[in-house]
């Protein structure tokens, strides 16, 4: 059965695009991106979705309480066949914290990408945090979403060196290149039924 994927975005959409390309090239098998939803109507990611022929929906969150907004998002996902217990929800630069009700609804079926080696540097501006701390190694993490921010079981991580002449932009773009590799890999593993969550650990079967 085809895995139906819904992708939540807020901005640029480069991770979204890497996943759309991976589906099209057959690197992610037995899966289809059914809908892309943005909490920002002006997000470039919506234009990327349309360009790839994927339904793009804006659900503006300005002036709407978090719980209410999240249930509108869940409704739109379900309308497009991304059902709890069946579908997969991907956060790709979604700059909004999902309430527990949403996380419980799609339990074990929501993934996020974060530009640090979690549990280091959760939250906003992770690349800046790594530089400001003086870290020698930075990176990115794909993880399942739990209701605590940036804290769910880790699926794949990739380390990236921090260079002495790095600024936030150069480090962020080196990390981003790896994000574009590991997010599709994690989604492919999920689509192939090869991920199992055991407590805090994610086991990958061969």
> Which residue has tokens 């192939």?
192
Question: Quick check: 59 and 76 in contact, CB under 8 A?
Answer: yes
Residue among 81 and 153 whose Cβ is closer to ligand GAR? 153
Closest distance to ligand GAR from the beta carbon of 106 (Å): 17
Binding mask 91-130 for ligand GAR (x = CB under 6 A): -xx-------------------xxx----------x----
Binding mask 24-63 for ligand GAR (x = CB under 6 A): ---------------------x------------------
| 179 lines the binding site for ligand GAR (CB under 6 A) | yes
| 14 lines the binding site for ligand GAR (CB under 6 A) | yes
Contacts of 132 (CB under 8 A, 6+ apart): none
Which run of H or E residues covers position 53?
A: none
| 13 lines the binding site for ligand GAR (CB under 6 A) | yes
| 11 lines the binding site for ligand GAR (CB under 6 A) | yes
Task: Return d(Cα 28, Cα 19) in angstroms, integer.
Answer: 8
| 15 lines the binding site for ligand GAR (CB under 6 A) | yes
Is 143 catalytic? The answer is: no
Residue among 74 and 171 whose Cβ is closer to ligand GAR? 171
> Which residue has tokens 């790594």?
130
Token representation of residue 113:
């990408």
Q: Which residue is nearest to ligand GAR (CB)?
A: 93
Helical H runs in 53-194? Answer: 66-79, 100-105, 126-133, 168-191
Q: Is 125 helix (H, G, I), strand (E, B) or coil?
A: coil
Question: Quick check: 140 and 179 in contact, CB under 8 A?
Answer: yes
Q: Annotated active-site positions, please?
A: 114
Where on the chain is the footprint of ligand GAR (CB under 6 A)?
11-15, 45, 92-93, 113-115, 126, 176, 179
């Amino acid at each position: 059965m085809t895995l139906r994927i819904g992708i939540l975005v807020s901005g640029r959409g480069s991770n979204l695009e890497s996943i759309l390309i991976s589906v099209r090239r057959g690197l992610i098998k037995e899966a289809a991106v059914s809908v892309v939803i943005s909490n920002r109507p002006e997000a470039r990611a919506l234009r990327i979705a349309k360009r790839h022929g994927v339904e793009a929906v804006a659900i503006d969150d300005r002036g709407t309480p978090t719980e209410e907004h999240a249930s509108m998002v869940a409704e739109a996902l379900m309308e497009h066949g991304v059902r709890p217990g069946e579908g997969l929800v991907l956060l790709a630069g979604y700059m909004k914290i999902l309430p527990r009700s949403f996380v419980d609804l799609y339990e074990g079926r929501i993934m996020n990408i974060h530009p640090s080696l979690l549990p280091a540097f959760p939250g906003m501006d992770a690349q800046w945090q790594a530089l400001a701390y003086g870290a020698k190694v930075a990176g990115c993490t794909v993880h399942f979403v739990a209701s605590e921010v940036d804290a769910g079981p880790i699926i794949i991580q990739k380390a990236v060196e921090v260079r002495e002449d790095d600024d936030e932009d150069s480090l962020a773009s080196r990390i981003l290149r790896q994000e574009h590799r590991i997010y599709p890999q994690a989604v492919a593993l999920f689509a192939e039924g090869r991920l199992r969550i055991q407590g805090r650990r994610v086991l990958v079967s061969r």
